């Protein structure tokens, strides 16, 4: 009988937040090419296998929310097309998810978690998800 290794424990944390901004999608050939705004919903999921021994938690939700808020503060109540990250690419939900993922990933380097995915929704029925895992 072949030896099987026991499954590695994996814990996931998921938080949500939002921000409000305007944008225009160039080359869209539709209404979204005009200036308009959204109340963007953002969902972040991180994962890890090592709980902090004394508390039994992977990462404090409060700390994770604080890090996400620091990224979203750079986007909130702005015209996204005027921000440097979107000078060369459309501030689509897909590109916003990638931007948030990349910024948050660097803020989590000193924590025992990996960012799994970031979802950005312009409304509840549609979500763009970015992941590198």
Please indicate whether residue 78 is annotated as part of the active site: no
Q: Of these residues, 32, 79, 94, 111, which one is catalytic?
A: 32
> Has 36 been annotated as catalytic?
no
Cα separation, 111 vs 101, whole angstroms:
15
Catalytic: 77?
Answer: yes
Query: 73 phi and psi, to 5 degrees?
Result: -60, -30
Q: Catalytic residue, from 63, 77, 82, 132: name it.
A: 77
Q: Which of these is catalytic: 23, 38, 45, 122?
A: 122
**Paired tokens of 132:** 């590198």
Output phi, psi for 16, to 5 deg: -135, 155
d(CA 93, CA 119): 8
The residues carrying an active-site annotation are 32, 77, 122
């Amino acid at each position: 009988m072949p030896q099987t290794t026991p499954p590695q424990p994996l814990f996931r944390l998921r938080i949500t937040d939002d921000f409000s901004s305007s944008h225009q999608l160039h080359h869209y050939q539709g209404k979204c090419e005009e200036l308009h705004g959204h109340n963007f919903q953002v969902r972040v999921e991180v994962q890890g296998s090592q709980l902090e021994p004394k508390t039994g938690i992977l990462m404090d939700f409060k700390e994770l929310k604080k890090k996400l808020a620091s990224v979203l503060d750079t986007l909130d109540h702005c015209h996204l097309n005027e921000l440097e990250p979107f000078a060369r690419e459309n501030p689509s939900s897909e590109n916003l998810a990638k931007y948030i993922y990349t910024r948050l990933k660097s803020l989590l380097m000193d924590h025992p978690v990996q960012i799994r995915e970031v979802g950005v929704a312009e409304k509840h029925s549609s979500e763009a998800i970015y992941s590198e895992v």
